[in-house]
């Protein structure tokens, strides 16, 4: 009898696809990928020379977190698939291939936790950081 009462309305249960579409913006994937890349040992910074230059200026005028989340990362999301490009600066003393493979793995893992499929992660090493700011010379 309960089945008859529950089905009396005649409205079938709708699936997620029947009620709309979910999309994830490029910006969201860029933020996720940027955070993942920054967490990798050997990554000194993200972004090319121009992006880092403008970030330094923003820092000096008190806008130190403007654009930091996505700087150095671009993504192209189509449906549930993503291609991610990362531009980074490595710390001196780290092997480039070790750092780039670790960045690739971290980005894939982080983005795929959100239900997307990462098709590829392209990593460009733009610079190397020889000296940490504030480090004592010869120490």
- What is residue 101's predicted lDDT score, i.e. its pLDDT? 98
Q: Alpha-carbon distance 114 to 122, whole Å?
A: 19
- What is residue 135's predicted lDDT score, i.e. its pLDDT? 46
Mean pLDDT of the chain: 79
pLDDT-derived band at 138, boundaries 50, 70, 90: very low
Q: How many CA atoms lie within 13 A of 11 on its CB side?
A: 4
pTM above 0.85, yes or no: no
- What is residue 139's predicted lDDT score, i.e. its pLDDT? 42
Dihedral over alpha carbons 47, 67, 58, 37 (to 10 degrees) = -40
pLDDT of 106 > 90? The answer is: yes
Cβ(36)–Cβ(104) under 8 Å?
no
pLDDT-derived band at 12, boundaries 50, 70, 90: low
Tokens 């980074």 belong to residue: 88
């Amino acid at each position: 009898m309960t089945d008859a009462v529950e089905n009396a309305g005649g409205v079938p249960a709708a699936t997620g696809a029947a009620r709309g579409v979910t999309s994830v913006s490029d910006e969201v994937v860029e933020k996720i990928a940027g955070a993942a890349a920054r967490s990798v040992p050997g990554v000194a910074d993200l972004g090319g020379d121009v992006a880092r230059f403008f970030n330094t200026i923003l820092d000096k005028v008190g806008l130190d977190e403007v654009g930091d989340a996505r700087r150095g990362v671009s993504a192209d999301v189509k449906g549930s698939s993503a291609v991610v490009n990362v531009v980074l600066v490595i710390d001196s003393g780290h092997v480039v291939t070790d750092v780039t493979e670790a960045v690739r793995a971290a980005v894939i893992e982080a983005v795929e936790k959100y239900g997307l499929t990462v098709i590829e992660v392209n990593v460009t090493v733009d610079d190397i950081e020889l000296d940490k700011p504030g480090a004592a010379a010869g120490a």
